[in-house]
Amino acid sequence: MRTVPVVALGDQYVFAQNLEDVAEFVGLQGTGHIPLPPEVLIVRWVKVLRTVQRQIRQMPEARMGERVIDNRDRSIRLMGHHVFRIAEAYLETVVDGVEYATQLANEPPAEGKCVTGDEIAAYGEGLIRRLQSWWAGLPDKSCRGKVQTFFGPQPASMLFERSTWHCAQHARQLAAVLERFGIEPQARLTREDLAGLPLPEGLWE
């Protein structure tokens, strides 16, 4: 076992990254969750990334090094970069065949890069364009093909959904940080934007 969460039964275990795998492992007939189709996810994901671009530009430059939340060692700057790095890691997996792993999406920016909100948003712009280009040129938009992940081969559609809601959760958190600073977010995700995504109930989960 290289990471958590893990569900174990006796000496058998399964990584709990894909809840459908967990349901099968414990003898259930699926989770009941119906994933959004990829053609909906791509629109949602781009909306999420555009929202984060606007949020990160609003962050006061003097506070970019502060923690997003006190009990986790991740700065606002690194959180902003991380959102777009999730998209880059996804493309590296589905296009380049790199195995998806937790550390892949957590790679920090190079020294001196993505320091300001504008720089992070510009990095994000490049990723949004690459994501849109990938989608436009994708022959099979069902995304049923398998990709390699640290928790085993998974349908690309599963990683697509996971990457979308992962970014959306961080967008919710960044909006909360702006509010904590007394700044009204210029962009925030609506209930409709989040509908159908398997997001954690809590903001900091």
Residues of the chain with pLDDT > 70: what percent?
88
pLDDT tens-place string over residues 109-134: 999 999 999 999 999 999 999 999 99
Question: Would you kindly state where each structural domain of the chain is located, as residue ranges?
Answer: 1-33, 35-194
pLDDT at 161 over 80: yes
171 phi/psi in degrees, rounded to 5: -65, -40
Alpha-carbon span 158 to 20, nearest angstrom: 10
CB proximity list for 200: less than 8 A, separation 6 or greater: 169
pLDDT at 97 over 70: yes
Q: Identify the pLDDT of residue 21.
A: 66
Residue 76 one-letter amino acid: I
pLDDT at 135 over 90: yes
Q: Identify the pLDDT of residue 11.
A: 81
pTM (2 d.p.): 0.86
Q: Identify the pLDDT of residue 32.
A: 65
Mean pLDDT for the stretch of residues 103-110? 93
pLDDT at 24 over 70: no
Alpha-carbon span 174 to 52, nearest angstrom: 8
Mean pLDDT for the stretch of residues 3-9? 73
Alpha-carbon span 31 to 159, nearest angstrom: 17
Q: Identify the pLDDT of residue 118.
A: 98
Domain 35-194: give its CATH code.
1.20.120.450
C-alpha dihedral sign at 55, 159, 192, 126: positive
* H-only helix segments in the chain: 19-25, 38-58, 76-94, 102-105, 117-136, 156-180, 191-194
Mean pLDDT for the stretch of residues 187-193? 95
Alpha-carbon span 175 to 59, nearest angstrom: 10
pLDDT at 82 over 90: yes
pLDDT at 8 over 90: no
Q: Identify the pLDDT of residue 1.
A: 63
Give the closest residue to 170 by CA, choosing from 151, 132, 197, 138: 197
